[in-house]
Amino acid sequence: MRFRVHVSLKASVLDPQGQTIRSALNGQGHHAIADVRQGKYFDIEMAPGTGREQARAEVDLIARDVLANPVIEDFRVEELG
Amino acid sequence: MRFRVHVSLKASVLDPQGQTIRSALNGQGHHAIADVRQGKYFDIEMAPGTGREQARAEVDLIARDVLANPVIEDFRVEELG
């Protein structure tokens, strides 16, 4: 069973890395790029035999406590099957 | 118009960062975590008035040439609308 945890900065938090990428792209002639924001994701494979409910609960816990910083980041857990 | 470019290491490439996260999670008692691989994504906002076909072509170009390293990384472009 696999899950993907998406972690992104909250919309209210500045993303200097994204701004730098946008600025570099504009400088390379890509003037149509108005904004870039960067995020990350974690593909998590659970050991065989883990129950679906238990796996989901564990991934939610890990996302909240370890992978994301809830002060400045949002996260979303997606089940990949 | 918004696009999301997903960039991940090719399956054949080792992901030491993901392995470190897995190891740390196992050490914290999350023994059901069998594997972790990390990826990143870029949310790209195009300037208003950019044609859909042109925007898509430009994002594909940027993904291939700038955002991903095709030697070790795969990318996928998703249209967010």
Q: Tens digits of per-residue pLDDT, A9-67? A: 999 999 999 999 999 999 999 999 999 999 999 999 999 998 999 999 999 999 999 99
If one counts every other C-beta atom within 10 angstroms of the C-beta of residue B8, the result is 19
- The SS3 assignment for B11 reads coil
Enumerate the residues of chain A whose CB falls inside 8 A of the CB of residue B27.
none
Q: How far is A71 from chain B (nearest CA, A)?
A: 20
Q: Are A33 and B54 in contact (CB under 8 A)?
A: no
**Do A13 and A35 form a contact (C-beta atoms < 8 A)?**
no
Closest CA to A31 of B47, B30, B41: B47
Which residue is listed with tokens 């190891």?
B23
- Going from N- to C-terminal start, the domains of chain A cover 2-79
Domain A2-79 CATH superfamily: Phosphoribosylformylglycinamidine synthase subunit PurS (3.30.1280.10)
- Cα–Cα distance measured from residue A9 to residue B73, given in angstroms and rounded to the nearest whole number: 23
Q: Cβ of B47 and A38 within 8 Å?
A: no
- The predicted-structure confidence for B33-74, as pLDDT tens digits, reads as follows 999 999 999 999 999 998 999 999 999 999 999 999 999 999
* Dihedral pair phi/psi, residue A50, rounded to 5°: -75, 130
